[in-house]
Amino acid sequence: MPTTDYQPPGGAAAVFSAEWLRYEPVPGHSRFYEGYRAILAGWCNGQPEFIVDAVAAAALAATFAAMADYVGADWRTTGFDGRTLAITRPPSMGGGIHPIEAVDGRYRIGWGLPWHRVDVNRCDRVVGGG
């Protein structure tokens, strides 16, 4: 599992991705299907939270929807209507929908998931303007 020994300081621009977007086209050489240009906002339970623009928010929601289609529609957890990013919380976190409204055109991502900074050159596609 590729990890980074260095995490950028808060406010730094970086590209973030996650293990569920990683694949190995050849053994020992990891790539990421998608990365998101973002600004590190801080940490939640040891995991990075970052700020993305609407382009990255839409791409992130579409990727989560495609994964849900692959796994099963009951796994659908993320939606984006062009204004609000909606995250469906699992029952273990109280259930319901958590709306994320843009602040200055940017959306806060993280949700306690194990995101990490990745090398932009290891991403098949990078979305967002940071």
What confidence tens digit (pLDDT) does each residue in 73-130 have?
555 577 888 888 888 766 766 777 888 899 998 998 887 788 889 999 999 999 998 6
Kindly report the average pLDDT of the chain as a whole number.
Answer: 83
How many helices (H) does the chain have, and how many strands (E)? Answer: 1, 11
How far is Cα 41 from Cα 83, in angstroms, rounded to an integer? 20
Contact 104, 121 (CB under 8 A): no
Domain limits, the chain: 13-127
Name residue 37's beta-bridge partners: 15
pLDDT band at 12 (very low <50, low <70, confident <90, very high): confident
